[in-house]
Amino acid sequence: MEANGEITQTPEARQYRSDTGTSMFSGATEGSVGHQSDNPVSETTAPSSSLSSQQVDLTEIDGGLSMLLERSRQSLGSCKEAVVFLKSRAKVEEEYGRSLQKVAQQTLKMMDNGARTSLGMSTQQAAWQRLVEVHETLASNRMKFSITLSEMSDYLGNYVKTKESVRRKLKETEQRYQKAIEESQTMLERARAKYEAQSSEWERLLVKSGNSKTEGAMQGQHQGQQQGQQSSSRSKNVGSAVSGIFSKHKGSTQESLERMGQEAG
């Protein structure tokens, strides 16, 4: 119902709105709770999956210099776009300021000529002159703004040139160091292969010298055994000869022994 331009509601309508709002709120709450209870894992696993993908991407970057150079290239591209925009905007502002200034000056000149022909300047002409002078001031401000935009574009252009030179030098330095690293790795592989070959050769010589020493020791031991056997057989022969002599002359007298010694001498 409307009373004095205001809308009034009956108690039944207010009760219906409150019941409907409560039921809608409870339904939305139950739906959201049910949705959360149905998929509790998806909400918790989404950040971890994105984090793991970022970690994989970061581990694949070699030192991060390539990413730095790429970001630098993108930043310089944005600066170049800003330079082009500022130059275009400065040109537009300059043309607009010059055109507005020209129109204002022509209007003021016409007003001056009219004031000379008439007896004086009315209040309407004075207000109109102030309005035209405001437009002339706007034109001057546009010209100044155009100069500021040109200075900004020149500054950004010089900045882009400087940073491109720095980026080029950094890229060349990275390539030079990368080449030095590859050459060092190649030399390292060659030195390792040479070391392994010499180590295997040294081990082979050690094994060969050890076998020769073992064979020499065995031969010396065998020769010693043979010499010992020969000396023992000789001592046995001498002993048997002496025992035979003594057994032969066992019954001889002292005189016969002396005579035998003289004969032997």
Q: Which pLDDT value is given to residue 258?
A: 67
Joined tokens for residue 237 = 């022969």
d(CA 126, CA 141): 23
Q: pTM for the complete prediction? A: 0.48
Q: Which residues of 65-93 are buried (b: 16+ CB within 10 A; e: fewer)?
A: eeeeeeebeeebeebeeebeebbebbeeb
Q: Across residues 70-81, what is the average pLDDT?
A: 91
* pLDDT band at residue 245 using 50, 70 and 90 as cut-offs: low
40-59 helix and 11-38 helix, angle to the nearest 10 degrees: 50
Q: Across residues 242-254, what is the average pLDDT?
A: 54
Task: For the chain, give every domain's residue range.
Answer: 64-167
Q: Does the pLDDT at position 229 exceed 80?
A: no
Q: Which of 41-45, 50-54, 132-136 has the lowest mean pLDDT?
A: 41-45
d(CA 163, CA 24): 59
* pLDDT band at residue 118 using 50, 70 and 90 as cut-offs: low
Q: Across residues 52-68, what is the average pLDDT?
A: 64
Is 198 buried (19+), middle (13-18) or exposed (0-12) by CB count in 10 A?
exposed
How confident is the model over 158-168, as pLDDT tens digits? 999 999 999 99
* pLDDT band at residue 241 using 50, 70 and 90 as cut-offs: low
> Is 3 strand, coil or helix?
strand
Q: Which pLDDT value is given to residue 253?
A: 54
> Is 250 strand, coil or helix?
coil
Question: Percentage of residues in the chain with pLDDT exceeding 70?
Answer: 53
Joined tokens for residue 196 = 């392994």
Joined tokens for residue 261 = 């010694």
Task: Identify any residues that bridge with 3 across adjacent strands, giving them in sequence order.
Answer: 6
Q: Any idea what the Cα angle at residue 94 is, between residues 88 and 96, rounded to 5°? A: 100
Q: 139: closest CA among 90, 87, 104?
A: 104
> Which position has the higher pLDDT, 5 or 229?
229
Q: Which of 84-88, 91-95, 248-252 has the lowest mean pLDDT?
A: 248-252
Q: Which of 53-62, 99-108, 194-203, 226-235 has the lowest mean pLDDT?
A: 53-62
Q: Which of 97-111, 152-166, 209-223, 245-259 has the lowest mean pLDDT?
A: 245-259
Q: Which pLDDT value is given to residue 222?
A: 65
How confident is the model over 1-46, as pLDDT tens digits? 444 444 445 555 455 455 544 444 444 444 444 444 444 444 444 4
Q: Does the pLDDT at position 139 exceed 90?
A: yes
Element (H, E) at 7: strand 6-7
